[in-house]
Chains A and B, each alone.
Chain A
């Protein structure tokens, strides 16, 4: 302690309430308002990007989130490469897909085992599950580690990858290094299949809704890095058409902007949407796992998103194995990217849904405008609609029970605020 200062012990638990707050207004047993407040930092980064060199966009935006940095890297690269007219080579595209598999695994496994499973199993958190079912939590941690290993190898380190650049990578991995992952990926694929079986046996609330699903769609693969923007109501657009389809409105109750379709419709992004629109592109074992879990052509019960996430983990491991096996060392880890001023558009499938970036770059290569639409911001309206429908028949329940139900319902969408075991500040106004 230096002179003139005092030390104060606090031991305060951060992350208990996060920034998630739900305001319910109940009048004579009728729910008249359900407003969710989610803090949305991409705005801050959009301002930060102005005046920066276009080549810096991937690394700057990757700092937005420690759970899905690869998604930010990939969407920023896609936008800048679109702007500069660069199409990456097949080996680079494959490595990027492998990197994205790593992130889906990390993020989905974290969500399934650490955040969502405790809700369904009736535990406050994963640490408490581990007391009764240590093997289950151990399996989750090992699965996540397998995802970390992919990100660490391709990205240069586990949490914030630094090896990605416009046009490709700074350094391509050695074939031997990728093959060294193989045995663990094999184990993980089997464990992921077990996870699907395990979570599909959970008890889910009987609740279905008719959603407008939106995701990317690729001609051959289940979507990750590229594709057209499609919806279950027949929309089919190139990513450059994103702004014509989804528009942001400012909602007074939240610092976030809410996205709706031009006609005011609410859309649903994420695993359920990807699955509904791309079931025919699932890998064989992922499809078999989905069939065995009884998932039909689409899943309209949002609580079952945990099962679809587990199916996507199977897919990610299956794809990772395929890409590792097919990998041959190559000479040019990055294509040259020459500046072309103008507007670039990029969208990729973050674990929690389509992540859109748009940049305007001037003739000096400086960013003059940036727009980043995180999937959580788009899903906010659909989360509120779910809550309204789900709560209406359950308003007689005590506030504590309501809070638990609301947390689970919000967690279906894996918003980044869900990092805390109990994050929701619930304020109920009864009249």
Chain B
């Protein structure tokens, strides 16, 4: 359930950046998952693919970096590192 709202949040940011950059399409997304973010890369991917359907990021490749450092200052967080647009 939290994944769903998470993806919605992320997607609205992706859409805002894409619009700001006057991009037609988002072709790639890079994400960083903190060690305490309690989501696996695989599960994140599934929700991402489902959540992006019909959006500007539909079909985009996804690169997920999963940190295992629980002392990292952002260990509980998920970061949208960057996007690739056309």
List A contacts of B46 (CB < 8 A).
63
Nearest to A138 among chain B residues (CB) is: B70
Q: Are B81 and A11 in contact (CB under 8 A)?
A: yes
Nearest to A9 among chain B residues (CB) is: B82
Instruction: Indicate whether A160 sits within 8 Å of B82 (C-beta atoms), given known contacts A42-B1, A419-B2.
Output: no
B62 on the interface (CB 8 Å rule)?
A: no
List B contacts of A418 (CB < 8 A).
2
Using an 8 Å CB-CB cutoff, how does the interface string of A28-47 with B read, 1 for contact, 0 for none? 00000000000111101000
Task: Give B34-52 interface residues, CB cut-off 8 Å to A.
Answer: 36-40, 42-43, 46-47
Q: Are A419 and B43 in contact (CB under 8 A)?
A: no
List A contacts of B40 (CB < 8 A).
66, 158-160
| Stretch from A14-22, A170-178, A190-198, A207-215 forming part of the interface with B | A14-22
Q: How many A-B residue pairs have CB under 8 A?
A: 129
Using an 8 Å CB-CB cutoff, how does the interface string of B1-36 with A read, 1 for contact, 0 for none? 111111011100100010001010001100100001
List B contacts of A67 (CB < 8 A).
1-2, 38
Q: Are B82 and A19 in contact (CB under 8 A)?
A: no
Q: Are A14 and B79 in contact (CB under 8 A)?
A: yes
List B contacts of A374 (CB < 8 A).
1
Q: Are A130 and B1 in contact (CB under 8 A)?
A: no
In Å, the complex CA distance between A7 and B71 comes to 29
B64 on the interface (CB 8 Å rule)?
A: no
B54 on the interface (CB 8 Å rule)?
A: no
In Å, the complex CA distance between A419 and B81 comes to 20
A316 on the interface (CB 8 Å rule)?
A: no
Nearest to B20 among chain A residues (CB) is: A8
Minimum CB–CB distance for A411 against chain B, Å: 13
B78 on the interface (CB 8 Å rule)?
A: yes
List A contacts of B2 (CB < 8 A).
18, 65-67, 416-419
Interface range for B: 35 or more
Nearest to A141 among chain B residues (CB) is: B70
Q: Are A11 and B79 in contact (CB under 8 A)?
A: yes
Instruction: Indicate whether A1 sits within 8 Å of B84 (C-beta atoms), given known contacts A14-B6, A15-B9, A110-B38.
Output: yes
List A contacts of B82 (CB < 8 A).
7-11
In Å, the complex CA distance between A40 and B78 comes to 21
B77's partner among A9, A13, A63, A110 (CB-CB below 8 A) is A13
Nearest to A128 among chain B residues (CB) is: B73
B83's partner among A10, A14, A127, A421 (CB-CB below 8 A) is A10
Q: Are A4 and B70 in contact (CB under 8 A)?
A: no
Q: Are B38 and A66 in contact (CB under 8 A)?
A: yes
A259 on the interface (CB 8 Å rule)?
A: no
A interface residue numbers (CB < 8 A to B): 1-2, 4-19, 39-42, 44, 63-68, 110, 114, 125-127, 130, 141, 158-160, 374, 376, 416-421
Q: Which 5 A-B pairs have the closest CB atoms?
A: A19-B5, A41-B4, A416-B1, A416-B2, A65-B1
Q: List 19 A-B contacts (CB under 8 A).
A: A8-B85, A9-B82, A11-B80, A14-B9, A15-B77, A17-B9, A18-B2, A41-B4, A44-B4, A63-B46, A63-B47, A67-B1, A114-B36, A127-B75, A416-B1, A416-B2, A416-B5, A419-B2, A419-B6
Given contacts A19-B8, A67-B1, A158-B40, 11 further A-B contacts (CB under 8 A): A1-B84, A11-B79, A13-B78, A14-B78, A15-B9, A18-B2, A19-B5, A65-B1, A66-B2, A68-B1, A127-B76
